[in-house]
Amino acid sequence: MIRKAIIISISGKTLTTDEKKILKKEKPWGIILFSRNIDSLNQITNLVYSIRSIIKDKRFPIIVDEEGGKVSRLSKIVNNSIYNQKSFGEMFKKKYS
């Protein structure tokens, strides 16, 4: 499957009919999720399943615009208020140094 070099976003917590058509027709490289797309673990699991079943690719990139700390898209699912960009950088350095 040839994908277009574009990452798109969706409007809400479930896919609209138009978004399903766009995914099928345009075949983007991936999808990025924001707070408006995330409500609960069950809801996000269903959304990911819906997206990947339309694309027919279990490895289709679904990215969350997560910064941690005060800017958290996952705060309804995970308490990550102790983490910020610096924490993630330090974890990366520790693992790959």
What average pLDDT does range 6-27 have in this prediction? 96
Task: Let me know: does 59 contact 30? Beta carbons within 8 Å.
Answer: no
What average pLDDT does range 57-68 have in this prediction? 85
Give the per-residue pLDDT at 88.
75
Q: What is the DSSP letter of 77?
A: T
Task: Let me know: does 84 contact 67? Beta carbons within 8 Å.
Answer: yes
Helix (H) or strand (E) holding 7: strand 4-8
Give the per-residue pLDDT at 4.
72
The answer for residues whose C-beta is within 8 angstroms of residue 33's C-beta and 6 or more apart is 9, 10, 44, 47, 62, 63, 64, 65, 73
What gap in Å lies between CA 61 and CA 38, rounded to an integer?
A: 16
